[in-house]
A and B are shown apart, each in its own frame.
Chain A
Amino acid sequence: MTSRPSALISIHNLTIAFPDETGERFTPVVKDVSLTVGRHEILGLVGESGSGKTQTALAILALTRPPGRVVGGSVLVDGEDVVGMDEAELRRVRGKKAAMIFQSPRTSLNPLMTIGDQIGRVYQRHRGLGKSAARTASLAMLRRVGIAGPERVAASYPHQLSGGMAQRVMIGMMVACGPELLIADEPTTGLDVTIQAQIFDLIQEVQAETGMSVLLITHDLGVVAETCHRVAVMQAGRVVEIAPVAELFARPRHPYTIRLLGALLRPDQPFDLTRETMQVSPETVLEIEGRHYRAVSVDSWAAKGVSTPELVEVGPEHVVLCHVTEVGAPIVAGAST
């Protein structure tokens, strides 16, 4: 399913690794990840810290920090593989095909330049506007992202903004580039709840207006349910489940997803640590035999000589990472590779 030709971003078997201190042994932090972001789609990428969400997103812009590097797979952005592109080719992708906003908006802005200058430069460089036209466009964009008093904000420096304002500015600046994909890496970390909601609303609004795709990285499943069209769940460097939002929340298949959803506090259910869904250990994988899914331990599979897990289609647009046995072989047809 990952090779839909119309997809804007299509990641195939991406593996990113970082070396240890000696620089000889590489430890993979993103393992064999395949996922797509369709046009005009908001894809949520969820998972715990260190599960490889940010690294996967950075790879789309080829921003993987050395000494880490992509050791396998491909990242097709609008049909072009950014893995192995040189700097000149990447400049055609960065900003134009995809742009990214980061966790801490205030440190994402140059402390020595005014907000107006920074957005204005984007208009000058990406849209080829003159100085005064760029300024007009910047003010309009600031107004668009909900900044009251754009003239005053345009003349301020980043340290004079609140976190929420700075993130609005960042969104405005990245949207000003006119990207086809906006990557938002936990855009509301450190903001209070009301501001968080406003920022997600803004991202949704801008998405609806411009028709760009959004890759939204977050911990917050509530946000995912409200904002996203599809969700990819990551655990320990692997994508374990991808499904449309309603499907994922209704029929989670992978034990990790079930646990993740089980950990969600809900007003209609008492929180119960002893609940069955909470008791699946992280090592469990999904075993498919015929049409039955059940969680088993990795060790039991290793004993049977089953190695790499694969993404298996279990429903419409719904794939789950699992080890496939001899018995379950027919289902391999739906796998991504």
Chain B
Amino acid sequence: MAATAGDVNRPISPGSLPAPTYEPIVPGERSTPGRLGWWRRVRRTRASAIVGFCALGLILFLAVAGPWISRYDPIKPDPFNITASPSGAHWMGTDQYGRDVFARVVDAARLDLMVAVAITAIALTIGAVVGGLTGYFGGIVDDVVMRVVDILLSFPAFVLAIGITAMLGNETKFVVIAVAIAYTPYFVRLVRSEMLSLREAEYAAAAKCVGNRRLRILGYHLLPNALPPALVQATLTLGWGILDTAGLSFLGVGIRPPTAEWGVLVSDGTQYINSGQWWISVFPGIAILIAVLGFNLVGEWVRDAVARR
């Protein structure tokens, strides 16, 4: 522009403004619907999310197809083949009882995924119901529940889970219950806080004024709207659930050997790492890494997707 800094009072004449330039409007990728719509979607997805989905896909594939890929029994010992190093016959070697590590890792994938899903389902369900009810109705029950939640949250989840399994006994179902209890408070808090704002929503008032029951408004209209943040939490909890289950088993208070479980497998191999048989611990460790990484990356993606709403 021609105007100098000291010339602020000079009226701006049309001629002193730069001529507007226009970007030519080119029909973009977005506006052309095509058969490859899904591929554009994939390309617009973040790389980390794609890595996450691939990791989960791999674990899921192994869990489902495992028995058809591996020829070995994950439980049966083979005394003639102990601590064999990875080879064409045993892709991940064998452990101190001659069991095929790959067969055990794959078998454990199925158990760990189911345990993680069960933990998350229980924590999410209880969290949604309790958080929804307390957030919507409030009152003294809300106060009591929130104090209990505060107490539970004051323990690290993992320490709480150790305490509960120690109390209940180390069976798979008790591990699930223990870890689920440890994670439920997070869901209760999350759903409750969401519900506190939603119960003031006008569509709640509108639903009420056409004669809906309160429980119906809560369950049918408000809860689905309160859930997205909890779903993000759920994806992350799947990963932490695996980590905690494996952790409990590794410490000997979770799932017990000879059941194939990643934590058990890592624990099995610890005594042999020093003597050079690294594969017994390392491969199940890598499996845990892939699964947890997958859930975390996908969790991040879900979080962003929810935030974009």
Contact = CB atoms under 8 A, between A and B. Distances in A.
Interface of A: 61, 63, 87, 90-96, 98-104, 107-112, 122, 125-126, 170, 173-174, 177
Contacts of A110: 203, 207, 221, 225
A62 to B, nearest CB: 9
Given A107-B202, A110-B221, 11 more contacts: A61-B209, A87-B214, A94-B208, A94-B210, A101-B206, A102-B206, A108-B202, A111-B203, A126-B210, A170-B206, A173-B210
A100 B206 contact: yes
Contact of A87 (B205, B213, B221): B213
Contacts of B27: none
A100 B225 contact: no
Contacts of B205: 63, 100, 102, 108
Nearest to B205: A63
Given A107-B201, A107-B203, A95 B209 contact: yes
3 closest cross-chain pairs (CB), A and B: A95-B211, A95-B210, A94-B211
A174 B207 CA distance: 10
Given A63-B208, A110-B207, A102 B214 contact: no
B28 interface: no
Interface string B147-174: 0000000000000000000000000000
B224 interface: yes
B174 to A, nearest CB: 37
> Chain B, interface size: which category?
10 to 19
Contacts of A90: 211
Nearest to B138: A66
B202 A99 contact: no
B210 A102 contact: no
Nearest to A122: B210
Interface string B188-229: 000000000000011101111111111000000100110000
A177 B209 CA distance: 10
A91 B208 CA distance: 9
Contacts of A92: 211
Contacts of A93: 211
Q: Interface on chain B toward A: helix, strand, loop, or mixed SS?
A: helix
Contact of A108 (B206, B211, B212, B214): B206
A93 B209 CA distance: 9
B225 A111 contact: yes
B209 A99 contact: yes
A125 B202 CA distance: 20
A219 to B, nearest CB: 19
A276 B113 CA distance: 80
A93 B211 CA distance: 7
B202 A104 contact: yes
Contacts of A112: 224-225
Nearest to B214: A87
Nearest to B228: A112
Given A110-B221, A110-B225, A112-B225, A96 B211 contact: yes
A66 to B, nearest CB: 9
Contacts of A177: 210-211
A107 B206 CA distance: 9
18 contacts: A63-B208, A63-B209, A93-B211, A94-B208, A95-B209, A96-B211, A99-B210, A100-B205, A100-B206, A100-B209, A102-B202, A102-B206, A103-B202, A108-B203, A108-B205, A109-B206, A110-B203, A112-B225
A243 to B, nearest CB: 28
Nearest to A90: B211
A113 to B, nearest CB: 8
Contact of A109 (B203, B212, B224): B203
Contacts of A102: 202, 205-206
Contacts of A95: 209-211
A101 B201 CA distance: 13
Contacts of A101: 206
Contacts of A126: 210-211
Query: In the complex, which of the residues A87, A108, A109 has the most CB atoms of chain B within 10 Å of its own CB atom?
Result: A108
A19 B146 CA distance: 24
Contacts of B202: 102-104, 107-108
